[in-house]
Amino acid sequence: MHPKQNHIKMRQLTDMRSAATLATSDPPAGPRLRVGKLCVAIQAASPAEMMERAEAAIQSVKFLEFRLDSLPKPAAILPRLKEFLAEHRDVAAIATCRRKPNGGNFDGPLATEIEILTKAALAGCQIIDLEVESAEEARPAQLSHFHTRLWEAGTALLISFHDFTRTRSLDQAADRIAAFKPDFVKVVSTARSLADNLAVLRLIENRSASSNIVGIAMGEEGIVSRVLGPRTGGAFTFASFSDGSETAPGQVTAQTLRDLYRVEQLDQATRVFGVAGNPIAHSLSPLMQNTAFRRESVNAVLLPLRVRALEDLLTLVRELPLAGAAVTMPLKQEVLPFLANMDPLTARIGACNTLRTGADGKLYGFNTDVAGVIRPLEKRLRLKGARIAVLGAGGAARAAVFGLVEQGAEVFIINRTHENAVTLARQAKAKSLKHEVFAKQHFDVLINTTPCGMKGTRQTMPIAENELNAGLVFDMVYNPLETPLLKLARSRGIPVISGLEMFVQQGARQFEIWTGKPAPEAEMLRVVEHELRKRG
Ligand code: NAP
């Protein structure tokens, strides 16, 4: 499917501040410039690599930014760029040759930057990016001559501002740029919090009627602005060519923006959800939930939200607004005082992993971790009266223990720090067992809720091999898919439940709470399993 195109009538360059020095006769109307909502930024170590990447990128996205400043000799690529653009007339290109003091890699003088950019326009690039510092430093005659050459080439001028440390005074930055009356205004800041996205989106909203504006907050927290900028009225957003070739911090790949976040389809009616935590970059929830939204034709998107403090998430909930969120530790507990209501089990457990914003704007809390534990088990055995050993007494164990006790199971908690097992057992009306006592008994189910066996942890098994004493083994760890505990159980012919099944079940209930539709569980499981196998 072709990306939805923005049709932008290029402003006649005689409008610009330097118009006085341009030709006095009326210029013909500028050419129509067609750009998509997604621009792939390409940097490379050599001209050959840059052209290779460009050829690969245009298989899916026809709008590229050539970061000429990433090349040792930016001018050397121009003949090849000209050939490429002549050959691919459906491709729109931005040329950028940002100087080092302004955050780029080009260490030549302003005059050379302007010369290279002028040549890039003559080579067929439809948009030229000049940083506002360069525009301000240029002599009026120099800038005016540059404008004229761009106009003659039918090229649009984009003037950009970058703040690599924070998000502040965005209106001032946009005003500095607007003074030059360019065709595009680009304001890029760095997000230090989720709330910084709101400042960027407000800038876009306020200015998009009067100018072609691009607003982005860099950094991991800035994902909200990258994805939602275009639907807020932004002319386009930037993506990287591939993982590892980002031209700015926090940039995500074109494939992710397009296929996972469906940036070209988002509109005012799109409901925005998040998965909140820290760290959150490797969460599988965006893949799982966005796949489910797409599959069920739900107009919604879920974004990974790096939350350093709960207040930041609550600001986003109120002001974006967010329709709901999946929350991880320690937010599961911290959020409780801010809920208008929660289901009784969530209140008893004292942890909420799912938020939904009601029509009244208030927050409602749920705990789907419980269903994530119960559903896989009740498919396999009768829980009432079952003897279940739970290894661990942390957050995940809490959901399991409260949920299982409610189902009538006899639950035994075994934990490294025995006092924690005793405390949880007392709260949930379960029993605690010392490890040596546990090792001598038999259970219907053994559930591992410790991180033992998780990729990267030193301790691979929560118990000794000769202590495996259950009819069914459930490991909450799902990375790797086949943990040492599950491998051992299988080798003894003991049936197993993987943590992935729990992850998908808790996610499926979240989907239902948010959308009111049955979750496409098989599809959710398929994509997450595929991704985990890919990650290895
Ligand atoms: P948590 O609150 O930190 O609790 C960890 C528990 O494991 C504590 O009881 C701790 O004992 C114990 N523990 C930690 N390291 C240990 C070790 N080396 N040996 C023995 N016991 C150890 O963590 P959590 O949030 O409950 O998460 C635990 C695991 O469950 C994680 O691997 C997480 O990925 C997984 N999980 C999976 C799902 C899913 O959907 N599949 C959902 C939630 C969690 P102490 O009391 O002595 O510290």
In the prediction, which pLDDT does 52 show?
A: 97
Give mean pLDDT, residues 162-177. 98
CA of 448 to the centre of ligand 1 (A): 8
- Distance from C-alpha of 352 to C-alpha of 331, rounded to nearest angstrom: 8
Closest CA to 211 of 173, 249, 253, 239: 173
> Do 191 and 238 have their domain in common?
yes
Ligand 1 atom index nearest CA of 503: 40
Residues in the chain: 536
Of 276, 327, 299, 41, residue with least CA distance to 158: 41
Query: Does residue 508 line the site of ligand 1, with CB under 6 A?
Result: no
Q: Are residues 411 and 525 in the same domain?
A: no
At which of 260, 292, 316 does a domain end? 260
CA-proximal residue: ligand 1, atom 32 (nearest): 451
Same domain, 430 and 458: yes
Q: Is the pLDDT of residue 19 over 70?
A: no
pLDDT above 90 for 18: no
Write down the pLDDT at residue 230.
97
In this prediction, residue 245 has a pLDDT band, given cuts at 50, 70 and 90, of: confident
420 C-beta closer than 6 A to ligand 1: yes
Q: Is 499 in the pocket of ligand 1 (CB under 6 A)?
A: yes
Residues 80 and 206 in one domain: yes
Q: Which of 416, 479, 509 to mutate to test the pocket of ligand 1 (most atoms within 8 A of CB)?
A: 416
Whether 376 is in a domain gets the answer no
Q: Return the residue whose CA atom lies nearest to atom 4 of ligand 1.
A: 394
Q: What tens digit of pLDDT does each residue of 312-343 get?
A: 999 999 999 999 999 998 899 999 999 999 99
- Is any atom of ligand 1 closer than 6 Å to the C-beta of 503? yes
Please say if the pLDDT value at position 121 is more than 70: yes
3-state SS of 146-172 is HHHHHHHHCCEEEEEEECCCCCCCHHH
Q: Which residues pair with 94 in a beta bridge?
A: 65, 127
Distance of CA 59 to the CA centre of its chain: 23
Q: Are residues 128 and 235 in the same domain?
A: yes
Domain-located, residue 444:
yes
Residue 165 belongs to some domain of the structure: yes
Work out which ligand 1 atom sits closest to the CA atom of 372. Answer: 40
Nearest atom in ligand 1 to 499's CA: 41
Residue scoring higher pLDDT (221 or 34): 221
Gap from CA of 450 to ligand 1 centroid (Å):
3
Catalytic residues: 332
The string of pLDDT tens digits covering residues 69-89 is 999 999 999 999 999 999 999
| Cβ–ligand 1 contact at 422 (below 6 Å) | no
Split into its structural domains, the chain has a count of: 3
**Are 439 and 329 in a shared domain?**
no
Q: Is residue 28 predicted with pLDDT exceeding 70?
A: no
Identify the pLDDT of residue 33: 67
> Do 202 and 86 share a domain, yes or no?
yes
Taking the centre of ligand 1 as the mean of its atom positions, its distance from the CA of residue 515, in whole angstroms, is: 30
Q: How far is the CA of 392 from the centre of ligand 1 (A)?
A: 6
Instruction: Yes or no: say if 201 and 187 are a contact pair by the CB < 8 Å rule.
Output: no
**Ligand 1, pocket-test mutation among 449, 459, 502, most atoms within 8 A of CB:** 449
Residue 451 Cβ inside 6 Å of ligand 1? The answer reads yes
Q: What is the CATH number of the domain that holds 483?
A: 3.40.50.720
Instruction: Give yes or no for a contact between 225 and 346, defined as CB atoms under 8 angstroms apart.
Output: no
Measure 68 CA to ligand 1 centroid, in angstroms: 48
Whether pLDDT at 56 is above 50: yes
Radius of gyration of the chain from its Cα atoms, rounded to whole angstroms: 28
119 shares a domain with 49: yes
Find the 530 Cα to ligand 1 centroid distance in Å.
24
Give yes or no for residue 277 CB within 6 A of ligand 1. no
Q: Is 445 in the pocket of ligand 1 (CB under 6 A)?
A: no
Residue 27 lies in a domain: no
Question: Domain range spanning residue 413?
Answer: 381-494
Give me the pLDDT at residue 24, please: 30
Q: Best substitution site from 450, 455, 457, 467 to test ligand 1's pocket, by max atoms within 8 Å of Cβ?
A: 450
Whether residue 498 has its Cβ less than 6 Å from ligand 1 = no
Cβ-based neighbours of 59, under 8 Å, separated by 6 or more: none
Q: Are residues 282 and 355 in the same domain?
A: yes
Helix (H), strand (E) counts: the chain: 20, 22
pLDDT at 246: 83
- In the predicted structure, residue 110 carries a pLDDT above the cut 60: yes
| Residue 415 falls inside a structural domain | yes
- Output the pTM of the full model: 0.91
* Residue 374 lies inside a defined structural domain of this protein: no
- If you measure from the C-alpha of residue 349 to the centroid of ligand 1, how many angstroms do you get, rounded to a whole number? 16
Confidence at residue 30, expressed as pLDDT on a 0 to 100 scale: 42
Q: Could you tell me if 222 and 123 lie in one domain? A: yes
- Do 284 and 247 lie in one domain? The reply is no
In a domain, 28, yes or no: no
Ligand 1 center to 428 CA (angstroms) = 18
Handedness of CA 349, 355, 357, 361 (dihedral sign): positive
414 lines ligand 1 (CB under 6 A): no
Question: What is the 328 CA–ligand 1 centroid distance (Å)?
Answer: 13
Nearest one of 320, 281, 286 to 301, comparing CA atoms = 286
Is the pLDDT assigned to residue 116 strictly greater than 60? yes
CA dist 433 and 163 (Å) reads 56
Query: What does the angle CA 439 – CA 442 – CA 443 come to, to the nearest 5 degrees?
Result: 115
Are 196 and 317 found together in one domain?
no
Examine residue 29 and state whether it is found in any structural domain, yes or no: no
Q: Is the CB of 462 under 6 A from ligand 1?
A: yes
- DSSP assignments along 271-315, one per residue: EEEEEEESS-TT-SHHHHHHHHHHHTT--EEEEEEE-SSHHHHHH
Ligand 1 probe mutation, 476, 485, 503, most atoms within 8 A of CB: 476
**Ligand 1 atom 10: residue of nearest CA:** 392
Q: In 449-514, which ranges are E strands?
A: 473-475, 496-497
Decide which of 231, 260, 289 is a domain's last residue: 260
Q: The domain that contains 287 carries what CATH number?
A: 3.40.50.10860
Whether residue 461 has its Cβ less than 6 Å from ligand 1: no
Decide: 415 in ligand 1 pocket, CB within 6 A. yes
Atom of ligand 1 nearest to the CA of 420: 46
